[in-house]
Structure 1
């Protein structure tokens, strides 16, 4: 059977990779942070494989924690972001095969992640941490930088890919098969950054408001 990768780690099968992830999950009590550096790096590479990695990562990952069960008896993983917000993610979603489009979308999100961080910091500096949907004040641990006021991230990315002739024209570094990767062509990465910057309209929502918004 073909090998399975999480970042640079090679596993004989997907089952072995799943077993390694579950060992981390079961090695910590619910509510605790994942404090082993190797476990942290494994979860970073795992999260990069999530179909909505860009949304899950947000402004950046500070740490991981073990979240209480949402359904059934099993605990899960939680991302603690650099802005203090938290969000759960399913390791099973991360281990599902991804299309090349999903890989490119995740890389695109990572290439422009700093713009979302800058927007959040600007709003915090201006003391305007309120929901742009409801007008309610937002707790520092319950904030999502959202595209809800303009075109969705996927729509912006789709337009860029179509202008090049399709997703397959965007070449990723080899680590894209092993984790998140980067654009091979750094001039193209800069063109994507400018394209995104010209079209992205950010706003602040609560995490629940952001989860409920339609996806394109």
Structure 2
């Protein structure tokens, strides 16, 4: 069965579509370049959070992404000409990571975060639809006119998705509490939050802290999305 790859700001219909999108970002820049497009940066932060070693890779926090020659990483030997998307942390340390691993082998926390994302998806869609119903919609990042709903993305910038989630998880007692039971126990099963108290708390948290914005779908490096 084909399984979509869902990030807070975007859903790819297939794994292949996600891989093509992030490969597009990888080759959009030259070796040594920082990832300067703010939408690319947002998508990479959301993807990095899916990585099975996200805590180790992200470390003290991400300052930026940049393109460089890649280490062998998760896929063994690579040629000297191979390139990768690197993380520069806020303490100026750097680490190679694999966007392919983040897509193909998400970590345990991803299921819970996917459940949180699914729980507020109706809110995100309603925000987009209401904006277009009210009149002219412009990209919050560039000011460019967004002609149709199909050409709009809803993303998180200030605060970012991961910040919203981490703050919420802290109210539950931290990740150790979420991961206490196999399959996340009564908190999240099958991609949905099944504990009504946790669901109500999450929706209240999102309504209070989330500040989603509408942006134009970037023409460079993106695959098909829904």
Q: TM-score range by the shorter chain?
A: 0.5 to 0.7
> 1:70: Cα distance to partner?
5.3
Q: Gapped runs of 5+ residues in structure 2?
A: 22-99, 179-183
Q: Gapped runs of 5+ residues in structure 1?
A: 1-41, 72-91
* TM-score, normalization by structure 2: 0.50
The alpha-carbon distance between structure 1 residues 202 and 193, as it changes in their structure 2 partners (threshold 3 A), is same
> 1:139: Cα distance to partner?
2.9
Which of residues 159, 162, 176 is equivalent to 2:167?
Answer: 159
Does the 8 Å CA contact 1:104/1:172 hold for their aligned counterparts?
Answer: no
Higher relative contact order (CA 8 A, sep 6+): 2
Aligned pairs for 1:1-216 (under 5 A) are: 42-43=1-2, 46-47=3-4, 50=5, 52-57=6-11, 96-140=104-148, 141-148=150-157, 150-170=158-178, 171=184, 176=189, 180-208=190-218
The alpha-carbon distance between structure 1 residues 100 and 206, as it changes in their structure 2 partners (threshold 3 A), is same
Provide the secondary structure at the position in 2 that maps to 1:151.
Answer: coil
Provide the secondary structure at the position in 1 that maps to 2:162.
Answer: helix
> 1:98: Cα distance to partner?
2.3
What whole-Å deviation, never above 9, does each CA across 1:163-200 have from its counterpart, x for those lacking one?
Answer: 21112423356984xxx521231111110011011011
Does the 8 Å CA contact 1:104/1:167 hold for their aligned counterparts?
Answer: no
The alpha-carbon distance between structure 1 residues 144 and 172, as it changes in their structure 2 partners (threshold 3 A), is farther
> Alignment length, in residue pairs?
137
* TM-score, normalization by structure 1: 0.53
